[in-house]
Amino acid sequence: MKKVFLSIMVIMTLFVCAIARAETPVSTITEWVNDGIGEGESILSITLEDNVLAISIDLSGVEELYPGYLLDLATDRTASITDTILEHEDFDAEWDKIHIEYPKTGFFILTKDDIEINEYGMRFMNVYDDEYNSRITTAG
């Protein structure tokens, strides 16, 4: 009886560990991102493979209010998306790099080194400093 009980406990422990290590479903990540996009924007794709989170967002439905507006919007939207993602601490182990693309506008590549902690102990992804701006790649 003890052996059966121990066997069941081992199996249950392995099962719980497997669930704990399961990746966050892409549908859940899509919900997080969808909460942060605005009018005229749409999600083209989201994938999480080999610890790289790749997000593609279409801004073609957004009216360009001034030259460079779409790039400013993409920068702001990237900050919003990464802040939303960082709210979910359990998701930390699942990614090493975030690649956010805005077709015809540009793309952002962020790593965990880009995470900063502010004076209140809150974590955020720094997408505004000069060092980071050198890593922004824009179309054309």
Residue 5 lies in a domain: no
Q: What tens digit of pLDDT does each residue of 53-103 get?
A: 999 999 999 999 998 899 889 988 888 888 888 888 778 888 999 999 999
Residue 86 lies in a domain: yes
Q: Which helix (H) or strand (E) holds 85?
A: helix 69-86
Note whether 75 and 30 are within 8 A (CB).
Answer: no
pLDDT the model gives residue 33: 86
Amino acid sitting at position 123? R
Residue 95 lies in a domain: yes
Amino acid sitting at position 137? T
Radius of gyration for the alpha carbons in the chain, expressed in angstroms and rounded: 19
Q: Is the pLDDT of residue 2 over 70?
A: no
Domain containing 31 equals 24-138
Whole-angstrom distance, CA of residue 36 vs CA of residue 133 = 22
